[in-house]
Amino acid sequence: MKPTVLLVMLALTSPARADTTAVYAAPATHFSMTVKIASSGDIRAELPDRTYYFIAGQDYYAERTSTGVIVMKVDDMAKVIAEDIAKFSARLGTKSINVPALTLVRRGTVRIGKWAGDAYYVQGATWSPRPVVVISHDPSLIELGRAMKRQYAKSGAMMAMMTQGHEPILKMGYVLDSGAPISYAGAELQSVSFAPIPKAEFVLPAQAVSIDDVRKRMRKE
């Protein structure tokens, strides 16, 4: 078979990316998160007090303030956290905070709404009363899985700076790589839509500030 024919066949049989909108909510609280994923791979995750963006290979947080919106690069935020931890550790005479890692273990299947998935619990002296994450292997949720793994990879890397280099929860990255979370840290998937999303949703609301402004913002909190 000629290479060009094979490439055409692969293109025809591979599922095309579509825009995806997923809504999560925590049953016991007022927390909600709306994750929007463009067919290009760009991400917008709307949280109660901030919005996460992944645009053109760069991660950002846009925070709402009393005077408007401030946009910060996640890498700059990580640098500031690393600086502060280094100063704190120097004062204590230790390299980092000694926080034991938590380990995830799969135990059975749990249904969340119309989806079912593998349930992962925190292993310890006593098991966590409810799963920390439930992973669905529904093919229609593949883009959601990729987006959630991207978000976790960045937040997990920042947390690792404070926990001697390891993830706060061991194997979480591996687990998220296996499918899409239909329950995650207490928030459950409520709905998924594949309707087109306006391109304007994936445009930053302001220019990202400098790392010096990030330092001022984060150390003011």
Measure the CA–CA gap between 52 and 189, rounded to whole angstroms: 18
Q: What is the percent of the chain where pLDDT is above 90?
A: 51
Q: What is the pLDDT of residues 23-71, one digit of tens each?
A: 999 977 888 999 999 999 999 999 988 999 999 999 999 998 888 899 9
In angstroms, what CA-CA distances link 134 with 105, 112, 151, 204? 11, 8, 17, 31
Q: Hey, what long-range contacts does 57-64 have (CB within 8 A, 24 or more apart)?
A: 59/150, 59/154, 60/204, 60/208, 62/204, 62/205, 62/206, 63/217
* pLDDT at residue 130, as a whole number: 84
DSSP assignment of 165-209: TS-SEETHHHHHTTSEEEEETTEEEEEEE-----GGGGS-SSPBP
Mean pLDDT over each residue of the chain, to the nearest integer: 83
Q: What is the pLDDT of residues 179-203, one digit of tens each?
A: 999 999 889 999 999 999 999 999 9
